[in-house]
Amino acid sequence: MQLTLNITDIFNVFLLVSALVGFSLSLFMFFSKYGKDKSLLFLNLMILTIALNNFQSWVLALELFQHKFSLSYIQIPWHFLSAPFFYAFLVNYLDIVDKQKKLLKYFLFTFIVMCVAQISFVIFVSGGGTVEELNYVYERYTSIEEVISFAGSISVFVYSFYVLKKKENLFQKILSFDNLKWIYNFFRLTGFVYLLWIFALVIKFSLNFSGFIYSYYPLRISTTTIIFYLGYQGLKYLRILKERKHIREEIEEEDVLVEEVKINDQEKDQSTRYEEHFFNVDAYVRTKKKFLQPKYTLNNLSKDINIGTSTLSAIINNNAKKSFVDYINEMRVEQAKKFLLNPKYEDYTIASIGLESGFNSKSAFYDVFKKHTGCTPLAFKNANI
């Protein structure tokens, strides 16, 4: 019995602490640099609903208000709004809000109806019965409400995944800045959370709405952890997205001033020296800024300038004295150095600079930069500013 009390007390502390952390995170995100961005606002609201749900669960677990005031047993179904707010975040982050169904307004309307219905139900039944009988009746009602919430939530979750997976043609621009792996990871983790929710509901109904509280412990802990993690990731990647967009706009403005170099290798005699070929190849790569494309390969360059891959490899090896990979990475490192030393990007993240310099990940940027310069990007920046 003592162990049971200890577990319950620990979980109640978790509910309170997680709610306070959620409120603090919500405030921090709102007043952050990008806090007014629509996608972050909806992500913030999602975190806030989880924090409110945990705080409400803590209040109910300690019976701080039940049967003490009029309508004191009300359990606001905050969980009903979490999935719709995530959907709103997703379509705003992908910049396809005008091309997708506006589900949020329907869920907000339903949420209000559910709250009004619950208040009406409480008023109707609160006049008779013992405390135990009223608790049982309220629990049955809110359980049915929770099943409705689960059905709506899982539907939005599945539809959101459908949008992410099947509608890539609508957000190609975003994919050029973010591979969205962190969002796919969220879907995988949330799928596990829905299994825990099903488990909790099955236990609740099988125990006839009493003694079921322990089945919700894994659900509450996993949900809170994942949502807070999503908030951190969302704030991080939104900042990177904004910074990369700004850097790319600057690069595109510079491109207008660069004289275009055309290569038509078919007009050149086969005996043309490798040095001349290399001059044209190098000019093409630099003026077209091909090195800024993370997945640009020797084969891509070969197709672009109509030179065979083996010949092209020999041209680069003999004249640049390095492999194609090192040749292209050296340009990326030089571009990164310019960004790192540019006062306009002083407050930008190292990840944003590395990704917009043509590297496909922050770790690859660090490794290649250190290989070519002997120091990390941050050390180079600190030493030269």
- Break the chain into its structural domains and give their ranges: 2-249, 260-384
> Per-residue confidence at 127, pLDDT binned at 50, 70, 90?
low
Which pLDDT score is estimated for 5? 54
Amino acid at 61: A
Q: What is the model's pLDDT at position 1?
A: 42
The CATH number corresponding to 260-384 among 3.40.50.720, 1.10.10.60, 3.30.1330.10, 1.10.3720.10 equals 1.10.10.60
Cβ neighbours for 166, distance < 8 A, ≥ 6 positions apart: none
**Overall CATH class of domain 2-249:** mainly alpha
**153, 154, 156, 161 alpha-carbon torsion, rounded to 10°:** 140
Domain 2-249 and domain 260-384, same fold? Reply is: no
Q: Express each pLDDT in 283-332 by its tens digit.
A: 999 988 999 998 899 999 999 988 889 889 988 988 888 999 999 999 99
Tell me the C-alpha distance between 88 and 106, whole Å.
Answer: 12
| pLDDT tens digit sequence for 257-285 | 334 444 454 444 444 556 777 888 899 99
Distance CA 132, CA 173 (A): 58
Q: Tell me, what's the pLDDT at 74?
A: 79
Task: Give the HSE-up count for residue 8: Cα atoms under 13 Å, Cβ half-sphere.
Answer: 12
Cβ within 8 Å of residue 104, ≥6 positions away:
84, 85, 87, 88
103-112, 118-127, 132-141 — most confident range: 103-112
pLDDT tens-place string over residues 204-259? 999 988 888 889 999 999 998 988 888 899 999 999 999 998 888 877 665 543 34
Choose among 157, 192, 24, 13: nearest CA to 80. Answer: 157
Percent of the chain with pLDDT over 90: 52
